[in-house]
Amino acid sequence: MCAHFTLSAPTERLADEFGIPDPPALQARYNIAPTQLIVAVALKPDGEHRGIVRVPWGMVPAWADDPSAAPRLFNARAESVAYKFGECFRERRCLIPADGFYEWKAVGKKKHAYHFSRTDGSVFAFAGIWDVWADEDVKIVGACMVTTTPNELVKPFHDRMPVILPRESYAEWFDPMTSGKRLLALLKPYPAELMQAKQVGPKVNSSKSEGPECLQAS
17 is catalytic: no
* DSSP letter for each residue of 9-51: S-HHHHHHHHT-SSPPP---EEEE-TTSEEEEEEE-TTSSSEE
**How many Å apart are CA 31 and CA 207, to the nearest integer?**
7
Among 103, 144, 210, 214, the one annotated catalytic: 103
Q: CA angle 81-36-120, nearest 5°?
A: 75
**How many Å apart are CA 125 and CA 59, to the nearest integer?**
18
8 Å CB contact between 167 and 13: no
8 Å CB contact between 130 and 42: yes
Which spans in 36-193 are helix H? 81-84, 86-91, 170-174, 180-186
Q: How many CA atoms lie within 13 A of 84 on its CB side?
A: 12
**How many Å apart are CA 95 and CA 89, to the nearest integer?**
12
**DSSP secondary structure code for residue 186 in this structure:** H
Among 2, 88, 144, 214, the one annotated catalytic: 2
103 is catalytic: yes
Which residues have a catalytic role annotated?
2, 103
